[in-house]
Amino acid sequence: MSSTTDKIKGLGNEAVGNVKQKIGEATDNKKLEAEGKAQELKGDAQKAAGHAKDAVKSGADAVKRSV
């Protein structure tokens, strides 16, 4: 997956997770609330992976330019 794809999927998972949490809180559904938190954390991890890929690519490009 590209870094952009990771970031977009991460944002989507964060958003859906957040909605699930809010619905879980409003309906006193602890299971849905927990699923939402897990999905939000998955989104955070996906975004972080996308940023890490960008950093690695930038570092590799900098090394190529300096050689």
Question: What's the mean pLDDT in 36-58?
Answer: 95
Phi then psi for residue 29, to 5 deg, are -105, 95
Q: Helices (H), strands (E): how many in the chain?
A: 2, 0
What pLDDT does residue 27 have? 98
What pLDDT does residue 49 have? 95
Specify the higher pLDDT residue, 67 or 14.
Answer: 14
Q: What is the pTM of this model?
A: 0.80
What pLDDT does residue 1 have? 77
Specify the higher pLDDT residue, 58 or 12.
Answer: 12
User: Taking CA 40 as the corner, what is the angle to CA 37 and CA 46, rounded to the nearest 5 degrees?
Assistant: 145
For residue 1, the 8-state DSSP code is: -
